[in-house]
Structure 1
Amino acid sequence: MIAVFVATGVFGTQLLLRGGEDAGQQGQDRQPTRVGVTSPQMRSIEDAVSAVGTLRPVRAVDIVPNVAGRVSDVLVTSGQKVSAGDLLIALDDRAARAALAEAQATLNETEQEYSRYRQLEDSNAAAEARLEEARGAFRRAEAAVMMAEANLEDRTVTAPFAGTLGVIDTEPGSFLNGNQAVTRLADLSAVEVSATLPERYFRQVRPGQTLEITTPSYPNATFEGQVTLRAPEIDLGTRSFEIRAEIDNDDGRLVGGMFARVRLVLDTYEGMTLSEDAIISEGMAVYVYTVADGTAERTEIEIGTTRGTMTEVREGLEIDDRIVVAGWDQLTDGAPVAVEENPAERGDE
């Protein structure tokens, strides 16, 4: 019986050793994972900052009559485009015309009187005091005519510049008190966007830089403009500063009050980029799998800005590295790989 137990133990030990050898052999014979690879590319990279802002016309004013009066005619409609000097609203001007006619009559009389005394002065027949009195009356009559003309002109409301009118609710026969805005005029040939940026970007912003905006009204359109103003100081409450940019609006699609997403390009430089499909993020770790000698190696990287499908790689890779872009979800560090010649998905496509 002792001999039987000894023989059984020896046989079991041989089986265990043989099983371990077989498992090791299977590990060495593990089939490589088929992967697609790509390589980093050198591209022009934009260092940009994003913000939100509001659009407003480059020029906009409330149209308010200079004097009180009753409306005799409204010559425009809401939303109408007008040119500089176009007549918008006319007030009752009968009294103003009468006052101008009276002032002109007085001017004619004083002018004749002043002319007669000047002729008498030439013949030494007029006293100096009477001449000065006639001259003064003539000058006052001229001023009265100018005042009457201005009063008559104030009975018409005209456009100070070319633009688009807002809503007009005024009707003929209504009375305006001289303080009430009848509409708003906006020059929409260009619009201005205003946004605020954190203090850390202050030294990088300057007039003339390119700025892009998008709006919810036109989600597939991008509008480009130029920075016209950087506030000269930082707001103490928010630790931010205001920027303004002007954007051409020849087609009139943009209007005041629109919400805008702003993207300001601070700098442009050449840098290494990689398809975002090859980049793996796990918590705070960002890495890729590189391929060398048929083996996958986990490689930590530092990334920068992303533009489209390409992401800047600041550290961790060389330009000639081969990076797994398809099949990395089946890899571990040190796993054998077989590279496909025509992967279904490539980072440079």
Structure 2
Amino acid sequence: MKKTLEILVGLCIVALFAAGGVFGTQYLLSGEGQASQGSGSGDGNGRDPVRVGVTSPELRMIEDDVTAVGTMRPVRAVELVPSASGRVTDVPVGSTEQVEEGQLLIQLDDRAERGALAEAEATLSEAEQDYRRIEELAESNTAAEAQLEEARATFRRAEAAAMQAEADLEDRAITAPFAGTLGVIDTEPGAFLDAGEVVTRLSDLSAVEVEVSLPERYFDRIEQGQTVYVTTPAFEGEIFEGRLSVISPEIDLTSRSFDIRAEIDNPDRRLVGGMFANARVVIDTYEGLAVPDDAIISEGLTSYVYTISDNAAQRTSVEPGASLGSLTEVSGLSGEDRVVVAGWDNLSDGSPVEIDENFAREGLE
């Protein structure tokens, strides 16, 4: 009997402890719920708002372009060579000098040619006098027609000989075919030059051409007159503007590309042939929306931003386009959208937000 009583007392104690645990748990849960309800703002699901900075997409002029590398060259350039062999008697110009069209550059010994021209001119004068005299006699029927034809032929031959002698004399001088800049001249008076020997190079640097190759897919989008921006390591930070002037009419079978040329005005002659050129061809210009780079979130092949609607974050897919410095062109937004630019790393779709204008400025700096 005593043993049975001890068992009943033990069971009562266990029951009391169990009831106390249940009551305590309910009490604690009730207190937390009340504390939560009185703790301030949220989204109804117990989430506190996230502090964010926002901005609106900017309307920008966007250039659809393609870049390529190429080489600069003068708009005109020739190698200067003598047409005849001879000894140099005068070099009145120096290396890299600016010269005018027709200016004497190198003179060869021309004494024999001047003598031949004088003789040819004298012969021509005599032949012309004979021809005119016989022509007058033929008009009065005094001279025979055969005599007139012979005199005319002699005059024509003398005229041709004089022209040849004059050309031979001109070949003893190398002159500038157009205004331009000379290359290096190593020829000195007394040197002997062979016909066809390159003396120097003359370049017209009033304008330069940039030649580049573009992939075949751009062939139907390239037109003469399109703007081309060029940079070169020789003038770091400077941009030279030109216009597309030549388009190759065919595609290279090996590279599947085509050549284009752009002409750039060069009044100060700073750009020269052989310079390396980075060219950017502007194919089209249009208006588009752009957002700061910091607002765009990329995950694999997808990109998105967070926009604000009814004080909540909304994940919005976008398609990035052209880079505009610290901005990037995007499609999928409107100009009225508010885009999160700072604080998005704490957001998820539907998160409540608190907009802070100062935070937005910090995000854009």
**TM-score, shorter chain, exceeding 0.5:** yes
Q: Does 1:231 align with 2:212?
A: no
Which deviates the most, 211-220 or 336-345? 336-345
Q: Please say if 1:52 is aligned against 2:40.
A: no
Q: CA deviation at 1:193?
A: 1.1
1:103 to 1:324, Cα distance in 2 relative to 1, 3 A: same
Give 1:94's aligned residue. 111
What is the correspondence of 1:115-154 to structure 2 with a 5 Å cutoff?
115-122=132-139, 124-154=141-171
Cα separation, 2, equivalents of 1:16 and 1:40: 52
- C-alpha separation in 1, matches of 2:20 and 2:275: 86
- 3-state SS of 1:152 partner: helix
Q: CA deviation at 1:184?
A: 0.7
SS of aligned partner of 2:238: strand
Q: May I ask how many residue pairs the two structures share in their alignment? A: 347
Aligned pair 1:79/2:96, yes or no? yes
3-state SS of 2:237 partner:
strand
Q: For the Cα contact (< 8 Å) 1:325–1:345, is it kept in 2?
A: no
Confirm whether residue 337 of structure 1 aligns to residue 353 of structure 2. Answer: yes
Aligned-partner SS, 1:144: helix
Match for residue 6 of structure 2? none
Name the larger-Rg structure: 2
Aligned: 1:155 with 2:172: yes
The match for 1:64 is 81
Which has the larger displacement, 15-24 or 27-36? 15-24
Which residue of structure 2 lines up, in the alignment, with residue 195 of structure 1? 212
Cα deviation 1:24-54 (Å, max 9, x = unaligned)? 9499666533221101122222211111121
Structure 1, unmatched stretches of 5+, are none
Shift in CA distance, 8/159, structure 1 to aligned 2, threshold 3 Å:
farther
What TM-score does the superposition give when structure 1 sets the normalisation length? 0.90
Q: Does residue 314 of the first structure (1) align with residue 331 of the second (2)?
A: yes
TM-score normalized by the length of structure 2: 0.86
Letter in 2 for 1:326: A
Distance verdict in 2 for CA 1:318–1:16, change over 3 Å: farther
Between structures 1 and 2, the one with greater strand share: 1
Where do 1:3-82 residues align within 5 Å? 3-9=12-18, 18=28, 22=32, 25=36, 31-82=48-99
Distance 1:5 1:73 in 2: 128
Summarize deviations over 1:227-251 as a string: whole Å, max 9, x none: 1122212222122111111111112
Match of 2:288 among 271, 279, 285: 271
User: Which residue does the alignment assign to 2:238?
Assistant: 221
Equivalent residue, structure 1, for 2:123: 106
| 1:168 equivalent in alignment to 2:171 | no
Deviates more, 1:142-151 or 1:110-119: 110-119
Measure how far apart 1:85 and its partner are.
Answer: 0.5
Between the aligned partners of 1:295 and 1:40, the Cα distance in structure 2 is 18
User: RMSD of the TM alignment (CA)?
Assistant: 2.6
1:62–1:41 Cα change, 3 Å: same
Q: What is the deviation of 1:323?
A: 0.9
- Contact 1:43 1:273 survives alignment (8 Å): yes
CA gap 1:174/1:346 in 2 versus in 1, 3 angstroms: same
Amino acid at match of 1:246: E
**Change in 2 beyond 3 A, CA 1:21/1:251:** farther
2:276 aligned to which of 254, 259, 273? 259
Distance 1:128 1:57, change over 3 A: same
Question: What SS class does the counterpart of residue 217 from structure 1 fall into?
Answer: helix
d(CA) in 2 for partners of 1:51, 1:66? 40
1:323 is aligned, of 323, 328, 339, to 339
More helix by share: 2
SS of alignment partner, residue 77 of structure 1: coil
